[in-house]
Amino acid sequence: MENENEYYKLSKQEYNAQNFKKALLYIEINIKLYPNDYSSYLLKGNIETLLDEYEKSIISYEKGIKIKPNNAKLHNDLAYSLSKINKYNSAILESDRAINLNPFYEDAYFNKGLFLYKLKFFQKSLEIFSFLLSINPNYTEAHLQKGLIYIIQNKFEDALNEMIIYISNVKDNTNAYFQLGFIYSKLKKYNEAIQVFKIVIDHKFYYPNVHFNIALCYIEINNYEKAIYEFNIVLSKNKKDLVSLNKRAFCFAKLKNFNDAINDYDKIIELKKNDSDAFFNKAICLSNLQNYLEAKKFFAKAINLNSENENYFHSYGACLIKIGKYKEAIEMFEKEKKIRNRKLTSSKSSVNIFNKPPVYVKKLVPSKTKYNIFNK
């Protein structure tokens, strides 16, 4: 076995030095000399996995299993490679084989939990990670995965506990801090969320989702100036971010900087010419500047794009009163009433993101752009 040891050891040396192509060359020589050595197929599969050659690694592991079917590591590593080509069900079967061979094989439990997570079997995945922690309470990554599952299940207090345990042990995982900030925001602990999000920025200065989420937290605590600052950073990297433009415009309006808000609504309209809310919000800002004649034009454009929003008709009617168009204003209010009655009859109520009733002339509406307020 002298030659086997020689090439196997050479391959291991190159493997440990991360010279994977050279390591592969040596282990292939060793396999030619000793074709029945299962450990060579295991090493070969590991090298191929690190070279992202997953289908080749699968073949290597399967050859090793034919020689040594009761080796738990071969089954576990095969499971991982199968998962990398999205064969999660087959990967779970191999994880189970590894666990049957070694009931305390921690990595096999962890991998199985990940595969179940990928298949969206979140509760089963959670049970696996919990069992793993019962075997080894110091398996830190399991706390991270449990935290992520609890986020999906909207169990934010539980998610918070898991994420804090994880971060107390692993302090350089930027994504974990981001998730912790997200959890705090969902628990309405906005100041804590902001502080955690700023840790993410310290790790990596430009992280657009973080700046966006900090801005949203500042909105929740009515600090519109700081929200604008954060939106400015996001928009400096992506000037066409419709959601950030819309939210920044809202902040400007809350600070009564209506001209700045109008500038942002103009940018939105340029990017999305059929955005009725942008036309409507621009009209609201113009009304607040007492430029009712100009506001009238944009209320009309908003209604032309969307004739089913009762708030449009309400505010348009109020604007018409300001310029003495009482007959037209009454028509607008009548249309508003019809829409409200129709929606009431069909049990569909109008949604107001700010949880306020329609306000005379001064009501802003949210953009219709679909987005997740905290960007998971």
Q: Pinpoint the alpha helices (H) of the chain.
A: 2-16, 20-33, 38-50, 54-67, 72-84, 88-101, 106-118, 122-135, 140-152, 156-169, 174-186, 190-203, 208-220, 224-237, 242-254, 258-271, 276-288, 292-305, 310-322, 326-345
State the average pLDDT for the chain: 90
pLDDT at 203: 79
pLDDT at 348: 44
Residue extents of the structural domains in the chain: 263-376
Dihedral over Cα of 66, 67, 71, 76: its sign = negative
- Examine the pLDDT at 327 and tell me if it is beyond 50: yes
Mean of pLDDT values over 133-156 = 97
Structure tokens given for 231: 């939106």
Per-residue pLDDT of 333-361, as tens digits, reads: 999 999 999 988 875 443 333 333 333 33
Per-residue pLDDT of 93-103, as tens digits, reads: 999 999 999 99
CATH class of the domain comprising 263-376 = mainly alpha
- Examine the pLDDT at 125 and tell me if it is beyond 80: yes
Residue whose token pair is 């009431």: 344
- Examine the pLDDT at 207 and tell me if it is beyond 70: no
Query: The pTM is what?
Result: 0.82
Structure tokens given for 287: 């009304």
pLDDT at 351: 38
Per-residue pLDDT of 36-84, as tens digits, reads: 999 999 999 999 999 999 999 999 999 999 999 999 999 999 999 999 9
Q: Among 247, 231, 206, which residue's Cα sits nearest to residue 367?
A: 247
pLDDT at 345: 84
- Examine the pLDDT at 187 and tell me if it is beyond 80: yes
pLDDT at 205: 58
